[in-house]
Structure 1
Amino acid sequence: MSDQPLSGFRIGVTAARRAEEQIALLERRGASVVHAPALSVDPNRIDEPALLAATKHVLDQPVDIFVATTGIGLKSWFGAAERWGLLDELTEHLGGAEILARGPKSVGALRRFGLRELWSPESEEFDDVLAHLRGRDLTGLRIVVQEHGQSLSMAAHALRRLGAEVTTVAVYRVEGADDPEPMFGLIEDIAGRRVDAVTFTAAPAIAAMMQAAGTTGHRDEVVSAFQADVIAACVGPVTAAAFEMWGVPSIYPERSRLAAMVKQLEVELPSRAGGTSLDVAGHTLLLHGDAVLLDGAEVKLSPAPYAVLQALLVNPGTVVSRRDLLTALPSGTAGSEHAVEMAVARLRAALGTRCIQTVVKRGYRLAVAP
């Protein structure tokens, strides 16, 4: 099996945080990557005066239930509290509450600061946290909800209708990318089916991309592309849920991790793409888009031999004349039949001499199995 299973595939990456790590994972597996951040490189832009005021409000009265939604949000909040000299007071105050955590990252952040969650949904979805709370008598209880980059005012209102006193703490607000041009370019690539997959590691990135697609008039085309040809790959179910309102199918791994998402693409993309596979002179020749693999190993071809191979693949095993191959060569390389001979020689050097057969006075053919 090839150690570059994504060779020949073009994948869009919308992440801003940890983008280099994700791009490296994909490129090591042979993918061509288009990086178009949907969000700011530093989405955790904190309004410190507002956060300080919210923190003091939380500390004013005992908290019955504390809902932690993101690890990075907790770290940012507690980091700010430490700068203000309020960290010990805040963690002690919240430690007296029943703590609910949305997922493993918020659990990890809580434990880092000496706090323990009482419950966390397996789904890692905030809706399941709300469902857990809706099944209880909340009358008179004070609930503090740490927001996760987007407003949870509607969720807070729903809890208030059940009798709770709810305080939301907006640690940060997710903002769009500083330079929207790469995203506009990716949107055009998606609409034109020029990428095979696009990865998403945060639900706000999906919202930002769809908003950008709307401003450029490509939203319907983007949705259609995702519904048909382009894979929407998400890091986990929370991110994937953001596609539901658009009717876009998505894939995500069982474990919400970058490596697991990339591993899933290794399986999903080749299985969907299929490609052209031939038995040529005892070897397996596979074409995925622009990639050529021989027995699972990628073969690098310059434009002229690649053009010859494409011409021979139109009807595998059929003889193609030198004149027709000359016509197929890229402009600038096709001067005479000698150019064809040179291109065939390079193709044989790359694939093996037995893969391309010479038919005297007629031309060349692929040595496909009968």
Structure 2
Amino acid sequence: MSPADRPAGGPLEGLRVGVTASRKAEEQITLLRRRGALVDWAPVLRSGLAGVEDEALRAATARVMDEPVDMLVATTGVGMKAWLGATERWGTRAALLAHLADAEIIARGPKTVGALRSEGLRELWSPSSECFDDVLAHLRGRDLTGKRIVVQEHGQSLSMVAHALRRQGAVVQVVTVYRVEAAADPAPTFRMVDLIADGELDAVTFTAAPAVKALLEAAEVTGRRAAMLESFRTGVLAASVGPVTAAALAQWSVPTVWPERSRLAALVTLLEHELPARRRGTSLDVADGHQLRLLGDKVLLDSREVRLTPAPLAVLRALAEQPGRVVGRADLLAALPSGTAGSEHAVEMAVARLRQAVGARVVQTVVKRGYRLSVVSGD
């Protein structure tokens, strides 16, 4: 399939989307092309999973079986299935399941929950966010002295997680089932970096946090990481399949959108609504005779581009959705990108930076209520 081929018409007609997925890439590309998008594909990770050598996994499993397990932290459904599939080959599946049955089980997300329940294992707790940081927060503060914890690794090293749990007194064993590695041929990834850095794409989709890391590493190698991040912050939409992948982008202050359900179809539907709206943009006549235009993450004040960091940009977009109306501090706080300090002071700082960029009179304070754009008239 040539990425340049696409049907005429559709809500994404004329828009160019980069796809970084390796798994289920063709399904995603087909969904995008059916909606008229031009798709550029760079599988930044190896296709499939690099399984750990059978001997190493078998030895790790034997160590798990040596002593009772107090807690199992299961991080991925595919990892649990692969681990149990290996024990099926060795004839020890039933023994491992019985050994884990009395453990406190924490599952990182719904796919992991599904994999566990299909084997008769029941999780005690799972974060709604699917973020591993929330798993650690759940465990932080607990007395884990002497607790034996088994952590199923999710493709990337969790050695720091193990160290953190050991600091709380736990005895930790990490079981590595598979590894996620960068693509063997980096050429498509380098090309994707250039397309993003040069602002040639309207959006880029991410379906795995390791893909973010691999793309950033490729950008660092080519000396274009700063340019690529700037493009993400000012024009190229980063679209994630869910909050876990979005968190990997948020670490670099990249604004990210993701659907409520972590599914490919939901991701494409999100782009179907988000990208045309960004292309149309918003034009507002504001205080002091200025015209303010929002084109995606690009902001123009009287045809002059205004560069905003993610927090003030998020505030501006929230205010522009209700021009002239008061938006409360709590709503503005909710609009700030993840990773921003969660207090009203963060809103005040974002508003202050926004005023420095677009003019103090453009954003009005409404005492005890919030803020609003000083709008003369709007489209």
What does 1:189-204 align with in structure 2 at a 5 Å threshold?
189-204=195-210
| Counterpart residue type for residue 229 of structure 1 | G
Residue 46 (structure 1) aligned with residue 64 (structure 2) = no
Aligned to 2:130: 124
SS at match of 1:50: helix
1:297 aligns to what?
none
Per-residue CA shift, 1:173-204, capped at 9, x if unaligned?
A: 11111211111111111111111100000000
Q: Deviation string for 1:339-370 (max 9, x for gaps)?
A: xxxxxxxxxxxxxxxxxxxxxxxxxxxxxxxx
TM-score scaled by structure 2?
A: 0.71
Aligned CA-pair RMSD: 1.5
| Structure 2 match to 1:33 | 39
CA shift for structure 1 position 243: 1.0
1:241-293 C-alpha deviation (Å, 9 max, x unpaired): 001221111111111111111111111111111189xxxxxxxxxxxxxxxxx
The reply on whether 1:222 has 2:228 as its aligned counterpart is yes
Give SS of 2:163's match.
helix
For 2:251 and 2:76, how far apart are their aligned partners in 1?
22
Q: Which has the larger radius of gyration?
A: 1
Q: Give the drift of 1:44.
A: 3.5
Aligned residue-pair number: 275
Is residue 23 of structure 1 aligned with residue 29 of structure 2? yes
Separation of aligned partners in 2, 1:235 and 1:135? 31
Please tell me the residue identity of whatever aligns with 1:16: S
Q: 1:69 to 1:3 in 2, by over 3 A?
A: farther
The equivalent residue for 2:148 is 142
Matched residues in 2 for 1:263 and 1:62: separation? Answer: 46
SS of equivalent to 1:176: coil
Partners of 2:9 and 2:258 lie apart in 1 by: 22
User: Following superposition of structure 1 onto structure 2, how do residues 87-236 of structure 1 map, counting pairs within 5 Å?
Assistant: 87-236=93-242
Q: Does 1 or 2 have the higher relative contact order (CA < 8 Å, sep 6+)?
A: 1
Question: What SS does structure 1 have at the residue aligned with 2:124?
Answer: coil
State the shift of 1:43 in Å: 2.4
The equivalent of 1:303 in structure 2 is none
Shift of 1:50: 1.3
Query: Where does 1:68-79 land on structure 2 (aligned, <5 Å)?
Result: 68-79=74-85
Q: In the alignment, does 2:250 pair up with 1:244?
A: yes
Amino acid at match of 1:180: P
Percent of residue pairs identical: 63
CA distance in 2, matches of 1:90, 1:219: 45
- Amino acid of the residue matched to residue 57 of structure 1? R
Residue 296 of structure 1: aligned partner = none
TM-score under structure 1 length normalisation: 0.72
Q: Find the residue that maps to 2:14 and give its secondary structure.
A: coil
CA drift at 1:3: 7.3
SS at 1:246 equivalent:
coil
Task: Report deviation, 1:211.
Answer: 0.2
The SS at the match of 2:246 is helix
* In structure 2, C-alpha distance between the alignment counterparts of 1:85 and 1:3, rounded to whole Å: 55
- Gaps (5+ residues) in structure 1? 277-370
Hey, what's the Cα distance between the residues in 2 that align with 1:217 and 1:173?
26
